[in-house]
Amino acid sequence: MLAGGSAFGLEAASGVRRYLERRGKGVITPAGRVPIVPAAILYDLGIGKPQPRPDLAMGEAAAAAATTESVAEGCVGAGTGATVGKALGFRQAMKSGMGSFTPRLDLQNQSKIYFTTNNQGEQDELTLLNGRLTWQSKSEQWEVALYGDNLTDEGYFNGKLNLVGFFGREQGNPGAPRTWGLSFKRTFK
């Protein structure tokens, strides 16, 4: 769970734990079920009033209200006191809640392959790592993404032709090297 209130907000995780325990949820151990609640906090005490702080009752209420619906965005929950832009000093900070960030890593593995029926033009097993960090506006009309493909810069081929009998060599179509980029998207509703 994510809570505001700096370290004081960790108490909300105890409320979630209590909620789960009362419902018999948790990891089975020899001593009984133990609800495991991973938690993180935001330091937001310098924004607005340092009270109220997330507490046990708030954590329990949040667990009871949890759904499988989309996560609420904006200045709600832990985002109430969240700010961005502090890298240039606290005076540059501003309220957040203008969208969401989504990190994504893709790991693709391909076993050894042959490009011809007579097992020539082979390519050894390879693994490609691609990543993407996407920001989407609250209205879902704007999207900005930083991406990287083939992050480990693997050398590989998309295809090969055995042209040794004709030209004395194989001809291949190399795969893309490490590539970085920034994309912008606007959706009209």
For 36-69, how does the pLDDT look when each residue is reduced to its tens digit (9 = 90+)? 999 988 877 777 777 778 899 999 999 999 888 8
> Bigger pLDDT: 152 or 78?
152
Beta-bridge partner residues of 181 = 147
Residue 165 has pLDDT above 90, yes or no: no
* pLDDT confidence tier of residue 147, bands split at 50, 70 and 90: very high
Mean pLDDT of 82-89: 73
Please, what's the largest Cα pairwise distance for the chain? 80
Who's near 37: CB < 8 A, 6+ residues apart? 1, 13, 16, 17, 20
pLDDT of residue 108: 92
pLDDT of residue 134: 93
Asked whether the beta carbons of 121 and 114 are under 8 A apart, the reply is yes
Beta-bridge partner residues of 2 = 40
Beta-bridge partner residues of 135 = 101, 144
Among 15-24, 113-122, 169-178, the range of highest mean pLDDT? 15-24
For 128-145, how does the pLDDT look when each residue is reduced to its tens digit (9 = 90+)? 999 999 988 877 888 999
CA–CA dist 160, 123 (Å, integer): 9
With H, G, I as helix, E, B as strand and everything else as coil, classify residue 166.
helix
> What is the pTM (predicted TM-score) of this model?
0.52
CA–CA dist 11, 56 (Å, integer): 5
Asked whether the beta carbons of 150 and 168 are under 8 A apart, the reply is no
- In three-state form (DSSP H/G/I as H, E/B as E, the rest C), the secondary structure along 154-165 is CCCEEEEEEEHH
* Neighbour-count burial of 147, counting CB atoms closer than 10 A to its CB (0-12 exposed, 13-18 middle, 19+ buried): middle
CA–CA dist 79, 73 (Å, integer): 8
* pLDDT confidence tier of residue 162, bands split at 50, 70 and 90: low
pLDDT of residue 10: 92
| Structure-token match 């083939």, residue found | 150
Cα torsion angle, 72, 77, 79, 81, sign: positive
